[in-house]
Amino acid sequence: MQIDYKDLKQEFNLIYFLEETKNNPIFFCNHDEKTENSFFKVTNKFSFKTNKKIETSSSKFRFQNLNKEVLNIHDNFSIKILSSNIQTSNFNESIFNINSFCSENFKEDFEGQYRLVIPNSTNDKIRFEDFFTNFNCMITINDKIFEGIEFKIQNHTLQFYRLNDYFVVESKNSILFKEFNEYTRVILSSFGFLTGFAPMDYGYFFTYNNYKEGIVQYMFTSNFIETYKTSYSIIDLNPYNYYQNQDLDFNFDQINGFKNDNRIEKLQKDLKPITSNIFETLCENMINNEKFAEVIYSILSINNSTKTALGLKCALYSVVLEMITNIISDENKDKLYFIQEKKLRKELQKNLNNHASEFFEKNEIGIYKDSPIKKRIDNLNSPTNQDKLLAPFKILEINLTESDKKILNNRNIFPLSKRGLCKRNSLTISSVTLSVLVAVNAATVV
């Protein structure tokens, strides 16, 4: 197994300097205009406070920003504002939200090696070995070893790993910022979809000619989607996590030693870890298939919503389930028909149409080709909406319980809170079931 030696001192020093402004704002003056300013971190973005007079008349106020301005916030340290908006303003001072900034020399068309570093000081620590296997890379820094994965997207080799309180995505070869920026969002979303957690509030991009020569340019952005965190993951290689609230049988004897519960041993054999190839395929599908990407982003958005009513959540899951159903059905159209052989389907329709046409003509009923009966015969072998919804599970060989089928059958009444099914306990079960069914469908497509 390859071990990569990393040196991120320069990056961590810059990040620490900027993150520390949350506790210790930087105060500086603009001597030309004799203004007093301060720069400081607030949650997942930065703020700039100034006593410079701001235009506050009518509609102009809400469009005030600092975009493209350069702030010399410290000795020989300047930043260029990329995205900002005014937060408050009065006679004495104005405060701007700074959503994104970069070094003065930052160029998006620069082709080089890129690294995204995301601070994550929460208690949500992801153990890669609980999800992935065959780590392509082990990262060592300051004599500590960290696990990570190496994979390819569109012929670009990338790494994704965790270093203590940081998540890092980096390119192994030269790439344009626009491509790397897109890939990082897909990588984080894919990782969150699989593991149930991904920090995505903000991050720091760094650019290099090569990693050994140091940073060429950098950029901070909070223009990601919010951090993703849900109570479950698509897969967990630790079998004990599936039986947290159940009694397990353990045996020990002098000859055979320690023996797990039979259920644990069976799960250990059945659980299939995520390989780099699976992760690559998921990322590639999100990049190449807009409809599939919409499914994944929709799942993340619904799962991440803590204030959405359960009935509405069920309805949203049902919508996403139909989205993924359409994707799977479009790729397996012949498998949806009761008579799967096209030649036989056509022959049946032809015979039925001939007999029906003769019947119409003999009994002088009317013009057969304009009748609803012809339309029915032409679509006689087409699956019903219910069959379409269940078809992906059959195609992907996913066994459904009777409870699963009942929830799917009632998917259209979830928003109607007065219906008996929509009691809170039932909604909770339905919400969890639908979310898992949607996720399993999406994951199986990969």
Ordered per-residue pLDDT tens for the chain, 446 residues = 567 788 889 999 999 999 999 999 998 876 555 678 899 999 889 999 988 766 544 455 556 788 998 888 888 889 999 999 988 887 788 899 999 999 999 999 999 999 999 998 666 666 676 777 655 566 777 677 777 888 899 889 999 988 888 899 999 999 999 999 999 999 999 988 888 888 888 999 999 999 989 999 999 999 877 888 877 677 777 777 777 666 766 665 555 555 567 777 787 777 777 888 888 888 998 999 898 899 889 888 888 877 777 777 777 888 888 888 888 877 777 777 677 777 887 888 888 888 888 888 888 788 888 888 888 888 777 777 777 777 778 877 777 778 777 777 766 555 444 444 444 445 454 555 566 566 655 655 55
What pLDDT was estimated at residue 438? 63
Angle at 242 between CA 239 and CA 246, to 5 degrees: 115
113 backbone dihedrals φ, ψ, rounded to 5°? -90, 140
What pLDDT was estimated at residue 178? 94
What pLDDT was estimated at residue 381? 72
What pLDDT was estimated at residue 171? 95
3-state secondary structure of 441: helix
What pLDDT was estimated at residue 424? 44
Whose tokens are 């300051």? That residue is 142
- Which class for 125: exposed (0-12), middle (13-18), buried (19 or more C-beta within 10 A)? exposed
Instruction: Output the pTM of the full model.
Output: 0.80
The set of residues, in sequence order, having a beta carbon less than 8 Å from that of 370 and lying 6+ positions away, is none
Residue in 291, 288, 297 with CA at minimum distance from that of residue 224: 297
CA atoms of 300 and 295, how far apart (whole Å)? 9
CA atoms of 294 and 286, how far apart (whole Å)? 8
* First vs last C-alpha separation in the chain: 26
Per domain, the residue ranges of the chain are 11-102, 109-229, 239-270, 291-335+384-445, 347-378
Give the long-range contacts of residues 5-11, CB within 8 A, separation 24 or more: 5/140, 5/141, 6/139, 6/140, 6/141, 6/163, 6/211, 7/141, 7/211, 8/117, 8/141, 8/163, 8/168, 10/214, 10/215, 11/115, 11/117, 11/204, 11/206, 11/215
Cβ proximity of 48 and 26 under 8 Å: no
Residue in 396, 408, 414, 398 with CA at minimum distance from that of residue 434: 408
Q: Give the bridge partners for 78, in sequence order.
A: 72
Ramachandran sector of residue 205 (left: φ over 0; alpha: ψ -120 to 50; beta: rest):
beta
Cβ proximity of 39 and 47 under 8 Å: yes
